[in-house]
């Protein structure tokens, strides 16, 4: 079971120091039973790595470029992240797909470069609301997932776009159905993401085929993130 916190474009380096110190005090000890990772923005990665170095809590980045170096202004490569002590990356988040022109092809290239460099990868997939309304959820997931290649260090996050930052979560049945589709194509852990909160985590995490959560908004507050991690522990035990 993995609980991953996607901070998006939130928390400066000094806010990260404060958050990680508090997180370490709050769940530094329990994280051995459930895998926990935080994904700060690039400028806060070094602070997070330093603060969490002596804990079981991993630090990841929110994106990575496919080249190792070169003329790619504004991009960050996998070896750069590795040297910093970063353990994992998110690729293909729906905000990258919708706002920054990310495609299945670029997602696959980013994932491949990160895996090649020894990073763990959380690859995000999920349908738009209109795709669900048209009955296309299954086809969208099949297209996005079949672009990926199975790997021991690959995790898929199912994040229905209409549930991200909206306060609407997939029902347990919707989550289970989507996870089943993904798992029929790739034998990898599958996280659920989209408005996971301390109030909704336990029921979602208890669904068969749900191997953890990718948490956005609720991961920005130590108490709510820790409460979600504690739900995961209760389900595991």
- Which residues are at the interface with ligand PGA (CB under 6 A)? 6, 159, 164-165, 193-196, 214-218
Selecting among 131, 159, 179, 230, the annotated active-site residue is 159
**At closest approach, how far in Å is the CB of 68 from ligand PGA?**
27
116 counts as catalytic: no
179 counts as catalytic: no
Write down the H helix ranges in 59-136.
78-84, 94-99, 104-116, 129-133
Q: Which residues of 141-166 are buried (b: 16+ CB within 10 A; e: fewer)?
A: bbebbebbeebeebbbbbbbbbbbee
Nearer to ligand PGA, 164 or 205 (CB): 164
CA 148/CA 107 separation, integer angstroms: 8
Question: Which of 118, 120, 209, 198 has the alpha carbon at shortest distance from 158?
Answer: 209
Selecting among 93, 127, 179, 230, the annotated active-site residue is 93
Residue 184 three-state SS? helix
Residue 201 tokens read as: 């985590």
Helix (H) or strand (E) holding 233: helix 222-236
**At closest approach, how far in Å is the CB of 188 from ligand PGA?**
17
Nearer to ligand PGA, 16 or 62 (CB): 62
**At closest approach, how far in Å is the CB of 120 from ligand PGA?**
16
Nearer to ligand PGA, 71 or 99 (CB): 99
Nearer to ligand PGA, 79 or 220 (CB): 220
**At closest approach, how far in Å is the CB of 138 from ligand PGA?**
21
Catalytically active residues are: 93, 159
């Amino acid at each position: 079971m993995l609980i991953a916190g996607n901070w998006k474009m939130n928390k400066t380096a000094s806010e990260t120091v404060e958050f990680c110190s508090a997180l370490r005090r709050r769940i530094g000890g329990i994280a051995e039973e459930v895998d926990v990772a935080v994904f700060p923005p690039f400028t806060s990665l070094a602070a997070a790595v330093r603060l969490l170095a002596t804990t079981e809590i991993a630090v990841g980045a929110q994106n990575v470029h496919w080249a190792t170096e070169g003329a790619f202004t504004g991009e960050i490569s996998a070896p750069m992240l590795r040297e910093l002590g970063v353990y994992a990356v998110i690729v293909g988040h729906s905000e990258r797909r919708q706002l920054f022109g990310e495609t299945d092809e670029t997602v696959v290239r980013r994932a491949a470069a990160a895996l090649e460099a020894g990073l763990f990868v959380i690859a995000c997939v999920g349908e738009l609301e209109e795709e669900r309304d048209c009955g296309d959820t299954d086809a969208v997931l099949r297209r996005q997932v079949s672009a990926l290649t199975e790997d021991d260090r690959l995790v898929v996050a199912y994040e229905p776009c209409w549930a991200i930052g909206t306060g609407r979560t997939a029902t347990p049945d919707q989550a289970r159905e989507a996870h089943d589709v993904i798992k029929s194509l790739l034998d990898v852990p599958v996280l659920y993401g989209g408005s996971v909160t301390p109030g909704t985590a336990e029921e979602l995490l208890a669904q068969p085929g749900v191997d953890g959560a990718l948490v956005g908004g609720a991961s920005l507050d130590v108490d709510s993130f820790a409460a979600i991690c504690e739900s995961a522990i209760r389900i595991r035990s």
